[in-house]
A = this chain, B = another copy of it.
Amino acid sequence: MCRLLGYAGPAIALERIITRPSHSLLKQSQHAHEAKLAVNGDGFGMAWYTGQDAEPGLYRDVLPAWSDGNLPSLCRVIRAPLFLAHVRAGTTGGTSRSNCHPFVSGRWSFAHNGQIAGFSELRRALEADLPDHLYALRQGTTDSEILFLTMLDEGLDDDPIGAVARAIARIERMQGGGAPNRITCVLADGSRIIGVRHSGDGHAPTLYVSAGVLDHGGRALASEPLDGCAANWTALPEGGVVILSADAMEISSLPGLADRAAA
């Protein structure tokens, strides 16, 4: 179980979301309220879009967020209109930078909280199912990285929501159906943040959406409400998808999966 967030809106210093709110991601790394494991000390990562480069900046380290001396400075001076961040509590894969989220490919970035059921038995088949150019991108050993590569294979660029749904469906077919996967994830492509919450057993990790704009005018997604940023926070239901951009927020259902997921 990890903690994650995404932001879209006016360009702000990353610290205004990641480190400063009274229940910021940094605080959640030490004292998560709504997670099975209260500590997320197996690494930190963030991907941000500057508006000048299509590909996001990426910073990941294996130190806990609270003890990385570079983090406060980077979050103070880096400003971005769109970014993701993640604190990790390792389930599969050792502690290394290549197992830290977000994972990035081209203009896409991805962070995940949850797990693919029975991953150690499934890893090889999932990897074998990737085309060569995505197989070659595999750097670590996590289920999350493969989930992202599978989404890319299903066509994130052309139909992101459909690709997410098809990637999950592909995995469930390999599992023979009925597997208790728990997938709460955020994706970004430079113009919007996509949040998804899906499970096979009704226990997908929480994901909250700022129903209105935050104090500084943007919108956010987070594993737990970022108290101190105002805005009402509402829980995304299982099977739900949310698309955030600087000026809009739209909630829908994951196509073809919503009916199968426990709410």
Is A107 in contact with chain B by the CB < 8 A criterion?
A: no
For window 29-61 of A, CB contacts with B under 8 Å fall at 30, 38-39, 41-43, 48, 50, 52-53, 55-61
Is A64 in contact with chain B by the CB < 8 A criterion?
A: yes
Would A63 and B60 be within 8 Å (CB), given that A39-B30, A77-B50 are in contact? no
**Which chain B residue lies CB-closest to A104?**
B73
Cα A36 to Cα B68 with chains together (Å): 22
Shortest A134–chain B CB gap in Å is 11
B132 and A124 contacting across the interface, CB-CB below 8 Å:
yes
Is A141 in contact with chain B by the CB < 8 A criterion?
A: yes
User: Which 10 A/B pairs are nearest by Cβ-Cβ distance?
Assistant: A57-B77, A67-B95, A41-B41, A58-B73, A96-B96, A39-B39, A41-B64, A42-B67, A59-B70, A50-B77
**Which chain B residue lies CB-closest to A59?**
B70
B76 and A57 contacting across the interface, CB-CB below 8 Å:
yes
Shortest A175–chain B CB gap in Å is 17
A63 and B61 contacting across the interface, CB-CB below 8 Å:
no
Type the 1/0 row for A128-150, where 1 means its CB is closer than 8 Å to any CB of B: 10001001101101000000000
Is A90 in contact with chain B by the CB < 8 A criterion?
A: yes
Is A27 in contact with chain B by the CB < 8 A criterion?
A: no
Neighbouring B residues of A96 by C-beta, 8 Å = 96-98
Neighbouring B residues of A78 by C-beta, 8 Å = 57, 78
Cα A94 to Cα B96 with chains together (Å): 11
Neighbouring B residues of A39 by C-beta, 8 Å = 30, 38-39, 41
**Which chain B residue lies CB-closest to A49?**
B77
Would A77 and B53 be within 8 Å (CB), given that A39-B39, A136-B120, A141-B139 are in contact? yes
List 14 A-B residue pairs with CB atoms under 8 Å apart, sorted by A's residue number: A38-B38, A41-B41, A41-B66, A41-B67, A56-B77, A57-B73, A60-B70, A67-B95, A69-B94, A69-B97, A70-B97, A94-B139, A96-B96, A96-B98
Is A74 in contact with chain B by the CB < 8 A criterion?
A: yes
Is A79 in contact with chain B by the CB < 8 A criterion?
A: yes
